[in-house]
Amino acid sequence: MNDLAISVKALLQKVAELQGSAKQKLAETKEQSKNISEAGIKVSASWSGSYAGYHAELYFADFEKPPLQYQFDPEWGGVNGIPNGWRTRTSDEVKDRIERLATVKVEQIEKNVADLVESAKALQRELLIELSGLYEAKDFSREKELLKRLEELKWKSTQHEFINANLPKTFMSRDSRAMSQGICLPAHMYYEAIAYDLASQCKGVEALLWDADQLLRQLQRRLGTPTSASAPDSTEVVSLIWPSLR
């Protein structure tokens, strides 16, 4: 068990290092993701409200909420012509408006999150390799559960989860052209899905740090290993991670 104690001490230090370097980035990224999501909601107020084919690309004026007399009617769509003020917007145009409202670039947030996740994955791999022998040890049932949770932590995209939850499965319109094009995803919802996924990835990093810290500290207590002076105590870890997991 002496080798395990040495590994635990070294791993706890690495958790503390990632904890410190990720703290500000996680807070900033979660706030930026929230801003993207809220900007998408604001832009949706100018959208046609229809998922039927080309209807999904229609936004009013300069991304403004249409007055009552200019509201789009999904049932009739463009059968009698597109109502005044409505125009087709490309995905890039919608993205540009969302980024201006959110005051942040989507690509920059994606890069920041990718860097955080890559660091978290590297730590996860090292934890699983260094502590793999724990499964063969007697007792340590609670610690084995925490290790299993770390092993099962996946980094899959949740964009489709968001889209599937918000995209209708059926729709109706008298506009045969739109009906023939099927259900289409409006651009603002796509960027809302990206924001949802980025926030989920941040929660994954936080969950890894939380579980790793709990596991390693429990092992220290069981093995009688003194806590490193440079590692944050449990109250510091709780203050950073716990609010996001409640």
Q: How confident is the model at residue 103 (pLDDT cuts 50, 70, 90)?
A: very high
- What is the rounded average pLDDT of the residues 127-144? 89
Distances (CA, A) of 188 to 36, 53, 95, 239: 10, 15, 7, 34
| Cα–Cα distance measured from residue 52 to residue 55, given in angstroms and rounded to the nearest whole number | 5
The answer to whether residue 228 scores a pLDDT higher than 80 is no
Kindly state whether residue 65 falls inside one of the protein's structural domains. no
| Cα–Cα distance measured from residue 194 to residue 108, given in angstroms and rounded to the nearest whole number | 12
Domain count, the chain: 1
Full domain range(s) for residue 106: 2-53+91-170+186-245
Kindly state whether residue 61 falls inside one of the protein's structural domains. no
Kindly state whether residue 138 falls inside one of the protein's structural domains. yes
Could you read off the pLDDT of 50-59 as tens digits, one per residue? Answer: 999 999 999 9
Kindly state whether residue 177 falls inside one of the protein's structural domains. no
Kindly state whether residue 111 falls inside one of the protein's structural domains. yes
Could you read off the pLDDT of 201-224 as tens digits, one per residue? Answer: 999 999 999 999 999 999 999 887
* Dihedral over alpha carbons 195, 200, 203, 208 (to 10 degrees): -140
The answer to whether residue 245 scores a pLDDT higher than 70 is no
Cβ–Cβ under 8 Å, residues 55 and 172: no
The answer to whether residue 16 scores a pLDDT higher than 80 is yes
DSSP 8-state symbol, 153: -
Which among 56-60, 67-71, 234-238 has the top mean pLDDT?
56-60
pTM for this one? 0.85
The answer to whether residue 236 scores a pLDDT higher than 50 is no
Kindly state whether residue 206 falls inside one of the protein's structural domains. yes
Kindly state whether residue 73 falls inside one of the protein's structural domains. no
Cβ–Cβ under 8 Å, residues 66 and 39: no
Kindly state whether residue 72 falls inside one of the protein's structural domains. no
